[in-house]
Amino acid sequence: MDLETPLRSLLTPLGLELYDMELVAGSLNVTVTREGGVDLEAVTKANRVIGEWLDANDPIPGHYTLDVSSPGLERRLRTPAHFLSAVGEVVTLREHRDGDRTRRLEGPVVAADEGTVTIDDDEQGRIVVTLSNVERARTVFKWGAEAKPTPSRGKAKSPSTSKKG
């Protein structure tokens, strides 16, 4: 059964999007996102709505655990859509190469399509990687990024004292 379509329709009224879904080792892992990020309340609502739908429709045979989460600061990249959404962002990627050592790349994604991703690797330059050769990939969160400038609000005034008389 296609779970993606019903999950998307359940999440839309909550203002959420389905980022990823994977059934692995007895766990249905559902990752949700939205513009501006996902808070605990949104994840809780999504978990409740999805859990109720799964209980009512029983689309997965056997026992499993439902795990609903946000992608986090360093989100996993698995699908062509994930790589397309990461254009302009720094990623780290492990590429499996037949007959050669696994290659680790890191740098901004400059292009992506249904079958490849192009990374401007910090050391090796621009590299095109076939998505079927990607062992694992994720975005990289840079700590201590420069703060955005804020407009000056003027000097704080000290309390004035006045004497009558």
Same-domain check for residues 8 and 65: yes
Select from 15, 39, 69 the last residue of a domain: 69
- CATH code of the domain containing 98: 2.30.30.520
Domains contained in the chain, number: 2
Half-sphere exposure of 102 (CA within 13 A, CB side): 10
Note the pLDDT tens digit of each residue in 27-62.
Answer: 999 999 998 889 999 999 999 999 999 999 988 888
The residue out of 13, 35, 69 marking a domain boundary is 69
Q: Is residue 114 part of a domain?
A: yes
Residues 13 and 33 in one domain: yes
User: Average pLDDT, stretch 138-151?
Assistant: 69
Residue 49 in any domain: the answer is yes
pLDDT of residue 13: 96
Contacts (Cβ under 8 Å, ≥6 apart) of 65: 26, 27, 28
* Predicted local confidence at residue 159, as pLDDT: 46
- Domain with 30, as residue range(s), is 4-69
CATH number at residue 53: 3.30.300.70
Reply yes or no on whether the pLDDT at 163 is more than 60: no
Q: Is residue 94 part of a domain?
A: yes
User: In the chain, which residue ranges form alpha helices assigned H by DSSP?
Assistant: 4-11, 40-57, 80-85
Whether residue 53 is found in the same domain as residue 96: no
Asked if residue 152 is part of any domain, the answer here is no
Q: Which strand ranges, in their side-by-side order, compose the sheet holding 103-112? A: 125-130, 116-121, 103-112, 90-95, 134-139
130 in any annotated domain: yes
Name residues whose C-beta falls within 8 Å of residue 19's C-beta, 6 or more positions apart in sequence.
31, 32, 33, 71, 75, 82
Identify the domain boundary among 37, 69, 101: 69
Same-domain check for residues 38 and 92: no
